Amino acid sequence: MSELAEAHRVRTRTIESRPLYDDLDFDEPLIHTYTQTTQPRQVPAKALASAVITWLAAVYGLCYIVLPLVASALGLHAMFLGNLVLNTITFVPVALLTATMVAAIKPDVVLSKRAPRDPVLAATFGSLAVWFGAHELFSALAPITAMPIGEALSFTAMNAVESSLIGMMLASFARTPLKALALGAAFQTLLVTIFLGWLL
């Protein structure tokens, strides 16, 4: 019995002295573990700004180049490509300003796919509402309701894609629908303001 007791004590000391990370599976991607929690986390400012720029660059490429090319090829709306320069000098400053503000404020970020979808929808709606209202209120912009149905639908669809992608990013910084709505509206207001500033 004494030999068994001694063996048990040795085994216990070995387990207790073993580093905790020995039980971790380092073949498992750390980002996978990181994104399982829906709790907000701090991200280094440089990495956060880089992520914002990368995401917005992808949004720009898809919504200002790829989708307009597809729409033009289908004969839906050739005006999009004609506004490429104006859209670029509007979108780039907003993207840089957003990245700068995010890096300065360093908000906690939710990186989980399991995060609630409500803030994403709210940010998307806020952006689209400002976009639609601006087109209906300012004479320098073409009213959506005055466009041919095919043109109006394609234009709205492309802006819905853009707003939803931007909404996904903004919702990472806002855990409540109201804050996400405000962020979406603010982002689109900045875009519209700079766009109108170039026109006028």
pLDDT at 105: 87
Tell me if 59 sits within 8 A of 165, measured CB to CB.
yes
pLDDT mean across residues, the chain: 81
Tokens in use for 8?
Answer: 């048990």
CA 28 to CA 22: how far, in whole Å?
Answer: 13
pLDDT of residue 44: 86
How far apart CA 152 and CA 21 sit, in angstroms, is 57
- Whether the per-residue pLDDT at 129 is higher than 50: the answer is yes
Instruction: Outline where 29-117 has alpha helix (H).
Output: 30-34, 45-60, 67-73, 79-82, 84-105
Residue 200 CA, distance from chain mean position: 30
The reported pLDDT for the residue numbered 191 is: 96
pLDDT digits (tens, 9 = 90+) for 28-44: 443 444 455 556 677 78
User: Whose CA is closest to 172, among 127, 122, 132?
Assistant: 122
- Cβ atoms of 118 and 174 within 8 Å: the answer is no
**Per-residue confidence (pLDDT) for residue 111, from 0 to 100:** 64
Q: CA–CA separation, 79 vs 64, rounded Å?
A: 11
Q: What is the pLDDT of residue 30?
A: 39
pLDDT in tens, 57-98: 999 999 999 988 888 888 776 666 778 899 999 999 999 999
DSSP 8-state code for residue 85:
H
Q: How far apart are the first and last CA of the chain?
A: 93
As a whole number of angstroms, the distance between CA 47 and CA 143 comes to: 39
Between residues 55 and 176, which one has the greater pLDDT? 55
138 contact partners, CB below 8 Å, separation of at least 6: 192, 196
The sign of the torsion formed by the CA atoms of 31, 34, 40, 41 equals: negative
Q: What is the pLDDT of residue 88?
A: 94
